[in-house]
Amino acid sequence: MVRSHNEDSVFGNPHRGLVILADGMGGYNAGEVASGMATTVLSTELENAFVARSPDTPEADGGRYAQAAIRDRVARANAAIFNAAASQPQYAGMGTTLVLALFHDNRLTAAHIGDSRLYRLRGDALAQLTRDHSLLQEQIDAGMISAEEARHSQNKNLVTRALGVDPQVETEIHDHEVLPGDLYLLCSDGLNDMVEDDEIALTLQSLGANLELAATQLIQMANDNGGRDNVSVILVKVLREFPAATGWWAKFLNCFK
């Protein structure tokens, strides 16, 4: 309702169980460029990586290839954005948040940088699976302010980690168990800054059977509450188990972005 152009970018491929959301930052249209580069580079690189090698392949350290591949490809995307910003003055200082989810072998590998979020609705319980890389979150963790005070702070959107701003970036990656019936929400802060978590939960509980309607309703709620930022959401519903031996992601995931 306020921004003149959209700096968010989204990508979803249920055939690969891969969804990506990025919220760009920077002057002029630089944020849009950064988020677009992030989704383009990561979607292409990761799809190619998992064609060549299953994400469930064991690594020497006992982990799975999924985490190693994501970490490596995020580093490449970071370098691409950073180098573009360094070589083109109009893009100087651009960067983007990132939240990425890969569904494989009845699990979810989630990666994030910045304050775009991943939520899970399981039954009636909404859980935030990512923890913001932001000044406000650091202040909450230090006991300087409460979560309620943070909602009304003037320091929103001050991220402590972003893709493409520095030569290297630390990607936070975790694996989570996935159950049939789970509903996952990836969103830019344009949603959760405008809509309380309990309102998000109620919307997903009541409309979760229709992902398109639920996504439309979430965006409308953010805009009705002021719409001070771009609002992007991706919803993924897990229909049944998807063990690694099958690999037919489209049969088991319903995705709307």
Q: How many residues make up the chain in this entry?
A: 257
The answer to whether residue 26 scores a pLDDT higher than 50 is yes
Summarised one tens digit per residue, pLDDT across range 202-243 is 999 999 999 999 999 999 999 999 999 999 999 999 999 999
Q: How far is CA 33 from CA 14, 29, 55, 64, 109, in A?
A: 25, 6, 29, 31, 26
Residues 6+ apart with CB under 8 A from 203: 214, 217, 218, 221
pLDDT at 247: 47
Q: Are 129 and 174 in contact, with CB atoms under 8 Å apart?
A: yes
The tokens for 145 are 């302010």
- CA pair distance 84, 92, nearest whole angstrom: 8
Residue 244 has a CB neighbour count (10 Å cut-off) of 14
CA angle, residues 100, 112, 198, in degrees to nearest 5: 85
CA proximity to 108, closest of 123, 95, 122, 124: 122
More confident residue, 99 or 150: 99
- The pLDDT tens digits for 116-166 are 999 999 999 999 999 999 988 888 888 888 877 777 776 677 899 999 999
> Do residues 233 and 255 make contact, with C-beta atoms less than 8 angstroms apart?
no
Residue 107: pLDDT over 70 = yes
Task: Identify the structural domains of the chain with CATH numbers, from first to last.
Answer: 8-256 (3.60.40.10)
What SS3 state is found at 126? strand
| Residue 182: per-residue pLDDT | 98
The pLDDT-based confidence of 248 (bands split at 50, 70, 90) is: very low
Confidence of residue 62 (pLDDT cuts 50, 70, 90): confident
Type of residue numbered 173: I
- pLDDT at 11 exceeding the cut of 90: yes
